[in-house]
């Protein structure tokens, strides 16, 4: 018999009770059915409402603007007093721009996407807005599946032509939100950043696929800033910029089993752009693979005063394949030699561990520690680092760094 307290297959239980009604005491049968109904109708599954965007006027024809329909479905889900689901069926849904604001009456909204959301092909439509799709002040929102097509190629071409171009729009952003899940989502060809997590707490991203041309500017795969307890798992990221970038104010970030390439690697920073800045701490990057990337794992700060820091960082069990800079700390970042020449970075880098880093470098210098002369990098630990260049030993460049070396190097 199906367990009495199963919430997932209540009909099977009812069928079993009905089947055994002839042999079961009627009072027992009545009691069990009543108990089941009480459990089921008080469970979150029973009360959930589903809102199909097509019912609100969305059209899967890739040309009719469905922005208002999506926002109408969101309004219904957000004002529901019980858990709610928004469903996007197969097809290509054109969205000009969409903002999903909270707070909502409930803290359990699932968005199930079988189709593709398509941004305007004319980059001028959205390129002066910071975001294409944004969630603000939400709690308990989960996105499952689906594809976001940012159609950013036009803006990339504009930027490569040296014309005056707009900055561009991030495809998906969560800001000032908590308890967020993004699972199985594909993001293609964002104008700039694909996914941004800003001022959020307790976010999990898993099974993501992010893809843009290797020469697409500023198309970071995932950016995390001013956020805590963020997890990124089992994802494949190929872009023209950082696969994952980690901004100031990030703490308790866990990245595991991410394939990166092409792109600029996984980067903490750039830090120290502001004089007063929150630090980065408690970051783990584990069991990741880097293929034909500009960098592997990088910590980068501006060469000028700042109150920020990067500490308690763990890079573990990483595989490099033809990576230009597999391991790099650069505290003398000064693009265009503006506002920083001759100054020393105020970012304090400490307690950084590189453990079991293996593979091949595309240049002779596989490790670069170019730290601040005013605040040297301290507590740098190298444990079993084995990187080669053209079948020979790679080299390291070290400046203003203190630490220990153990195991095979």
Nearest to 202 by CA among 223, 172, 182: 182
- For 52, the token pair is 């199909």
Tokens of 242: 């950082």
Q: Which of 124, 264, 317, 400 is the catalytic position? A: 264
Helix, strand or coil for residue 120? coil
Alpha carbon of residue 127 to chain centroid: 21
Give the DSSP H/E element, type plus range, for residue 363.
none
**DSSP reduced 3-state for 34:** helix
Is 264 an annotated catalytic residue? yes
Select from 252, 189, 186 the least CA-distant residue to 218.
189
Q: Are 261 and 291 in contact (CB under 8 A)?
A: yes
Nearest Cα to Cα of residue 141 among 113, 94, 114, 109: 109
> Rounded distance, CA 62 to CA 336, Å?
41
Between CA 60 and CA 146 the distance in angstroms is 13
3-state secondary structure of 354: strand
- Give one DSSP letter per residue of 273-331, joined into a string: SSSS---EEEEEEES-EEES-SEEEEEEEESS--S-EEEEEEEEEEEEEEESEEEEEEE
> What span, in angstroms and rounded, lies between the C-alpha atoms of 308 and 310?
7
What residues are annotated to the active site?
264
């Amino acid at each position: 018999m199906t367990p009495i307290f199963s919430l997932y297959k209540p009909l099977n239980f009812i069928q079993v009770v009905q089947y055994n009604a002839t042999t079961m005491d009627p009072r027992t049968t009545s009691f069990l059915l009543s108990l089941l109904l009480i459990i089921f109708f008080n469970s979150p599954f029973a009360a959930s409402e589903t809102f199909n965007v097509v019912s609100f006027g969305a059209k899967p024809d890739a040309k009719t603007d469905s922005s208002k329909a999506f926002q109408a479905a969101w309004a219904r889900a957000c004002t529901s007093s019980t858990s709610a689901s928004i469903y996007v069926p197969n097809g290509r849904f054109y969205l000009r721009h969409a903002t999903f604001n909270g707070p909502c009456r409930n803290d359990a909204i699932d968005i199930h996407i079988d189709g593709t959301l398509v941004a305007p092909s004319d980059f001028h439509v959205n390129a002066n807005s910071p975001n294409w799709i944004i969630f603000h002040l939400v709690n308990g929102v989960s996105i499952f599946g689906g594809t976001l097509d940012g159609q950013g190629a036009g803006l990339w071409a504009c930027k490569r032509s040296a014309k005056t171009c707009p900055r561009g729009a991030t495809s998906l952003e969560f800001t000032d939100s908590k308890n967020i899940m993004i699972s199985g989502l594909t993001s293609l060809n964002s104008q700039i950043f694909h996914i941004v997590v800003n001022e959020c707490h307790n976010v999990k991203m898993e099974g993501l696929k992010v893809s843009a041309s290797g020469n697409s500017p500023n198309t970071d795969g995932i950016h995390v800033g001013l956020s805590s307890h963020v997890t990124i798992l089992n994802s494949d990221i190929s872009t023209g910029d950082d696969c994952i970038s980690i901004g100031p104010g990030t703490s308790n970030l866990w990245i595991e089993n991410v394939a990166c390439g092409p792109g600029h690697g996984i980067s903490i920073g750039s830090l120290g752009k502001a004089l007063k800045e929150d630090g980065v701490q408690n970051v783990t990057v584990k069991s990741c693979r880097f293929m034909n990337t500009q960098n592997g794992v990088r910590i980068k700060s501006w060469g000028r005063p700042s109150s920020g820091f990067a500490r308690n960082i763990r890079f573990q069990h990483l595989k490099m394949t033809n990576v230009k800079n597999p391991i790099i700390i650069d505290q003398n970042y000064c693009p265009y030699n503006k506002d920083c020449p001759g100054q020393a970075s105020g970012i304090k880098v400490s307690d950084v561990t590189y453990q079991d880093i293996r593979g091949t470098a595309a240049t002779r210098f596989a490790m670069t520690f170019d730290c601040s002369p005013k605040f040297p990098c301290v507590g740098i630990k190298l444990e079993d680092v084995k990187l080669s260049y053209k079948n020979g030993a790679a080299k390291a460049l070290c400046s203003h760094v203190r630490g220990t070396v153990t195991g095979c190097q």
